[in-house]
Amino acid sequence: MNKLVVSKLYPYVASKHSTEPNRVERAIRHMITTLPFNKNQALKNLFPTRSSDAHNYTNKHFIAVLVERLRNEG
């Protein structure tokens, strides 16, 4: 999955938002590290975490959790 994320997903998201794939990856990493401090309740419900847990999510894991949650909703 990691190769798929880097070779397909990041470039796709980057093209949709007029940016570069490395910036997409960096933005996801930033979001993961700031999860415990985010005030968005929906995001907190998706990723219940304490500040000491934030480093446990990788970009791949973060995306996998999002995909799983979206599949369960639909």
State pLDDT tens for residues 1-50.
678 778 899 999 999 999 999 999 999 999 888 877 777 777 777 776 66
Tokens 């990723």 map to which residue? 47
- Cα dihedral 62, 67, 71, 72, rounded to 10, equals 0
Measured at the alpha carbon of residue 61, what is the angle toward residues 15 and 38, in degrees to the nearest 5? Answer: 80
The domain ranges of the chain are: 2-73
Model confidence, pTM: 0.74
Q: For residues 67 and 24, which has the higher predicted lDDT (pLDDT)?
A: 24
DSSP-based three-state secondary structure for 51: coil
